[in-house]
Amino acid sequence: MIKSLVAVFLAAILTENYVLSKFLGICPFLGVSKKLKTAVGMSGAVIFVMVLATAVTWPIYQSMLVPAGLEYLQTIVFILVIAGLVQLVEILLKKYMPPLYNSLGIYLPLITTNCAVLGVTMLVIEKASGDPAFTYVSALVNALGAGVGFLVAMVMFAGVRERLETSDIPQTFKGLPITLVAASLVAISFLGFSGLVENLIK
């Protein structure tokens, strides 16, 4: 049990990295990775919302939509639940936990339309439909891993971008193009992890 959870967790961070191999959450990855501080803040908010969103949408799907035969409403229900949830969390944090709100809160409105969050809630449902051993706990661990994977990619990339700032780049490549080429090189390094988790935990 624990073994399979560890496998799910590591796979979500390394082999199935949401940013670098699934292309989910590219906008914040490119937009807020310029400074390490904001990269960490954004990732913290993403981890938090991913786990929370999965914790809420999984029971809704399994115990409300499936018995009623309304699986096709998944998209519309999930996005509304996530949007409402993010709003609620923002209000609650503002009222009861101002220090946490100050460090995470500013990123929350951006997360509603982040495809990584909607993506993780849908992918765990997809995984569960093909594998009966994939339970609610695995889904939560998967969401946590996906968030941590996002953090790893953001922090790594923030480091790369700080170096880019001081380098001499051809005019045409300044700004976004060179950032994308750098992202491509970081993604190559993540290809090296393929097969790692399967071999590590058998």
Partner 1 sequence: MAQKKTMLQEFSKGIIKENPVLCLVLGTCPTLAVTTAATNAIGMGIAATLVLICSNAVISALRNVIPDKVRIPAYITIIAGFVTIVQMLVKAYAPAIDESLGIFLPLIVVNCIILGRAEMYASKNRVIPSMLDGLGMGVGFTAAMLLMGIIRELLGTGCVFGIPITAGFVSPIIIFILPPGGFFVFGMLIALSNKLSHKKNPETAGCGSCPMSGTCSKLKAEGGCDK
Q: Rounded to the nearest whole angstrom, what is the least distance from the CB of residue 148 to partner 1 in the complex?
A: 19
Mark 56-85 with x for binding to partner 1 (rule: CB under 8 A) and - for no binding.
----------------xxxxx--xx--xx-
Q: Are 111 and 45 in contact (CB under 8 A)?
A: yes
193 token code pair: 């992890």
- Unique residue bearing structure tokens 């700004």: 175
- Unique residue bearing structure tokens 């393929």: 194
For partner 1 (CB under 8 A), the number of binding residues is 55
CB closer to partner 1, 2 vs 76: 76
Q: Are 93 and 163 in contact (CB under 8 A)?
A: no
When binding is defined by CB under 8 A, the residue of 64, 180, 196, 200 that contacts partner 1 is: 180
DSSP state of 13: H
Give the range of 4-12, 46-54, 109-117, 141-149 binding partner 1 by CB under 8 A: 109-117
d(Cα 88, Cα 156) in Å, to the nearest integer? 31
Nearest to 48 by CA among 107, 113, 134, 124: 107
Sites of contact with partner 1 (CB under 8 A) = 20-27, 30-32, 34-35, 38, 41-42, 72-76, 79-80, 83-84, 106-107, 109-110, 112-115, 118-119, 122-123, 126, 172-181, 183-185, 187-188, 190-191
